[in-house]
Amino acid sequence: MIERARSPADIVVTGLGVVSPIGIGRAAFTEGLFAGHNGGGPVDFWDTRDWRSRICCRVRDFAPERWLDPKAVRRMDRTGHFGVAAAHLALEDAGLAPERMARERVAVVTGTCAPMEWVWTAHEACFTRGPRFVPPTTVLSTFPDAASARIAMQFGFQGPAPTLSTACASGADALGHALLLLRAGMCDVALAGGVEAPIVPSAMIAFGQARALSERNDDPLGASRPFALGRDGFVMGEGAGLLVLERRADAEARGARIDAVLSGYGATTDAWHMTAPEPEGRQRERALVEAVRMAGLSADDIDFVEAHGTGTPQNDENETRVLRRFLGARASVVPVPALKSMVGHGLGAAAGLAACATVVSLAEQRLHPTLNLDEPDPECDLDHVPGRSRPAALRRGLVCAFGFGGKNAALVFER
The answer to whether the CB of 328 falls within 8 A of the CB of 285 is no
- pTM comes to 0.96
Measured distance CA(50)–CA(315) in Å, rounded: 27
Q: In DSSP terms, which residues pair with 55 in a beta bridge?
A: 42
What does the mean pLDDT of the chain come to? 95
Domains of the chain: 11-253 (3.40.47.10), 262-414 (3.40.47.10)
Q: Residues 350-378: what's their mean pLDDT?
A: 98
CA 48, distance to chain mean position in Å, is 26
Q: What pLDDT does 133 receive?
A: 79
> pLDDT tens across 179-233, in order?
999 999 999 999 999 999 999 999 999 999 999 999 999 999 999 999 999 999 9
Residues annotated catalytic, as ranges: 168, 308, 345
CA atoms of 94 and 15, how far apart (whole Å): 4
Extract long-range pairs of 69-78: CB within 8 Å, 24+ residues apart: 72/154, 75/137, 75/141, 76/141, 76/146, 76/150, 77/115, 77/117, 77/118, 77/121, 77/141, 77/146, 77/197, 78/117, 78/197, 78/238
Tell me what pLDDT residue 279 has: 94
Q: What local confidence, expressed as pLDDT, does residue 382 receive?
A: 98
| pLDDT at 184 (0 to 100) | 97
Q: Taking the CA of residue 177 as centre, how many other CA atoms within 13 Å lie in the half-sphere pointing to its CB?
A: 23
pLDDT exceeds 90 at position 3: no
pLDDT per residue as tens digits for the range 101-147: 999 999 999 999 987 776 777 777 777 888 887 877 777 677 788 89
Q: Which helix (H) or strand (E) holds 308?
A: none
Tell me the per-residue pLDDT of 64-114, one tens digit each, with 9 for 90 and over. 999 999 999 988 899 999 999 999 999 999 999 999 999 999 999 999 998
Q: State pLDDT tens for residues 312-361.
A: 999 999 999 999 999 999 999 999 999 999 999 999 999 999 999 999 99
Strands 396-403 and 304-306: parallel
Q: Among residues of the chain, what percentage have pLDDT more than 70?
A: 98
Asked if pLDDT for residue 293 goes beyond 70, the answer is yes
Q: Quick one: pLDDT at residue 180?
A: 98
Q: pLDDT by residue (tens digit) across 269-286?
A: 999 999 899 999 999 999
At 12-49, the pLDDT tens digits run 999 999 999 999 999 999 999 999 999 999 999 999 99
- Per-residue DSSP letters for 209-257? HTT-B---TT-TTTS--TTBTT---BPB--EEEEEEEEEHHHHHHTT--
Query: Are residues 161 and 107 in contact, defined by beta-carbon separation less than 8 angstroms?
Result: yes
Distance CA 255, CA 359 (A): 19
Residue 4 phi/psi, 5-degree rounding, is: -90, 140
pLDDT grade for 51, boundaries at 50, 70 and 90: very high
Query: For the purposes of burial, counting CB atoms within 10 Å of the CB of 185, is it exposed (0-12), middle (13-18) or buried (19 or more)?
Result: exposed
pLDDT band at 1 (very low <50, low <70, confident <90, very high): low
Q: What is the CA radius of gyration of the chain?
A: 20
For residue range 230-261, what is the model confidence (pLDDT) as tens digits?
999 999 999 999 999 999 999 999 999 999 99
What is the CA angle 300-306-307, rounded to 5?
105
